[in-house]
Structure 1
Amino acid sequence: MAVARRLTALKVNSLMIPGRYGDGEGLYLYVKPAAGGGVSKSWVLRYSIDGRRRDMGLGRPPVVTLAEARELAMAARKQLATAIDPLVVRARSREKRRRLAGHPTFETAARSWHEEAKDGWRSEKQRKAALTMLETYAFPEIGTVRIDEVEAGDIRRILAPLWIKKPETGRRLRQRLMKVVEWAAAEGYRSTPLSLALVNTSLPKQPRAEHRKAMPWRDVPTFIKKLRAADNADNVRAALELLVLTAGRSSEVRGATWQEFDLVAGLWSVPAERMKAGRPHLVPLPPAALELLKVQLGRRVECSDLVFPGRNLKSPLSDMTLSMFMRREELEAVPHGFRSSFRDWAADNGHAADLAEAALAHAPGDKTIQAYQRSDMLERRRQLMVDWAAFCAGDKNAGGK
């Protein structure tokens, strides 16, 4: 059934008496006295949503004709039919236009994203590294480009020189570039984010990552014997041996401080900010590791709290220092590979897989990790590390299950 209209184009033009004139279905022409004499006219759509009455302005005649006002009212009613408030849609659109009118540059957007994400980084070092990476590779290229004008080709141009030569750096940089663009889209500075698939397909395939070479677990006792007899600096030998005995990462061992160790309880508490997974890790120390640390304590210098300081006593040993020892011994294995040596030894000698994974801080899930921090499980892990240290010392019967 056709809706009866009360207004015509002629009537709209001729109305000069102040008042509200209905056209049907909530559309009204408001006629009001004008400040300079005469009258002013405006279109208003009156509707209700969620129990509230609302008035939505649709413009003024003659700029907006009667036919156009009806079309605008119909569009608003369609939104209402799907429980969408057209005034909310309009407010969001205006806010978006306001934002787009003041587009930030890529650098400004990146710094804003970085500041908002400051509490989400695992460590202060990681937080600073993220911004430094953008400052080094992205800002010189697109720092002054408006964020809404950054395209997939710009991202590709930044990544291409790194993608093959420094694949890990390239992947991390890609992630951070895309995060900045996604932040800008969410904030209304871009209509859409960039297509990650398009960026990926435009880059060459990266070479398959080589696993860091590990020493066969049966060769570890011979290595430890050579290590203890080597004429290298005491710091280097001690750090490398502790790395083997605890199956720790190079960064965890080299950055260790004396506050992390309880030599009476035989425990090493690695804080979350120094762990790859961002969770604290408790390491039971076997007797051989405790003896090593007590000797190292006797070498402690007052100006440094590091267990293994480098030449600059306030900085830890470099990772290259440990790697160079392996090279001088003409070994293909790398320090990190001793974690694999430990894992293979545990598997081949009947130790529970989840126990070995917990020792490596690989235990999946918070509940599993918490379980392995309990005293009873901790003692099981302690026995595992005692068996491993005994094997490393040359006890061929150690660790068998």
Structure 2
Amino acid sequence: MSEFDSKVLPKARAANRLTAAMVRNASLPGKYFDGGGLGLFLRVEKNGTRFWVQRITINRKRHELGLGSPPVVTLAMARDAAMDNKRMIRSGGDPLAQKAKRKTRPTMTFARAVETYLEAKTAEFRNDKHRKQWYATLNTYALPVIGDMRLEDIGARDVLRVLEPIWTTKTETASRLRGRIEAVLSWATVAGHRKGDNPARWKGNLSELLAKPSKVRKGGNHAALALKDAQRWWTDLTAREGMASYALQFVALTAARSGEVRGMTWSEVDLKSKLWTVPAARMKAGKEHRVPLSKLALAVLQKLPRLEGEESVFFAPKGGALSDMALSALMRRMQNTYEAAGEDGYVDARSGRPAVPHGLRSTFRDWAAEAGVDHQLAEMALAHTVGSEVERAYRRTDLLERRRDLMENWAKVFVQSGNKL
């Protein structure tokens, strides 16, 4: 045994096993053997570098196989890896060849895994819009946080960094997001890009760290824009440039869901008939919805730039539909301007919370109630399911023309009296 080989902690030799404390305190250059018949030892170089090594014999030839460095690779992890290698050799495998194979395979990041997963799963999506919506959630919330991380480096804490900021404020979105992260990582494991448990798994994992979605305190309805603030809000909004501003204007004027507007394509619009037809696949209720367009809504569409080859009406800078965050971020900026000046800005009259895009639908419903609009007419304008199953079966009309007058009157809520629509 050489002088270099003899640098073994006395306690470790006596017990024939290392401990976590011994590994943590080992600083003298040398080899610190773990014992246990695995051929595992900790090598400490003169420059202080420390790494795990396992002596193995393959085809009667002795080799040394690196297993990583502490503290990233703990003593327990090194022992597990060493045991796996022993088992592989016993069954006729070659850990050295496996390691060489892993090195030649390009490292895959989470962002790349998302793209590859979606390519493999294309047939499972209802349509291309569904696929884009699925990706948009990951692109908005997950990729900015863990997109550049290697798959094997992603742990539960990293998934929490994605979910925690929206877990109580956008619980439904966060829950769907968690499921999608889990699906991508599950695929990555089966495809051989990572090992171990899925850090995005809920039961027995994130369920111990996050409140159950069903138990998260609900904040009531989405914060709505007060009717008394509608004209001031509209003036503020229309003074702002950009596609998000146009999209938010259209959301307000049609009382549609922001996702329906963001996913809108020119093929759904009939400017001559002043009509926007949202296909069933993009509707929450799974039923086609016709939206009569007011003069002001048509004016918004006529202002929009067109991008060659782009079908999205409200497209993102790099093409494709706007993200969910684009509209919310714009409303937050509008609110922040007032808060910076010590003013209330645009807050919900009941909860006192800043208004959000989806709350504009509540604003419409409040206006309709105060204006004495027929309940069924208002609910149909919001694409809500109206009446019993029997009533719906016998109803032959969606009251389009009556709703056309309704939306013209609603548009007048946002403009000053006497102004042109």
The TM-score with structure 2 as length reference comes to 0.47
What TM-score results when the alignment is normalised by the length of structure 1?
0.49
- The structure with more radius of gyration: 1
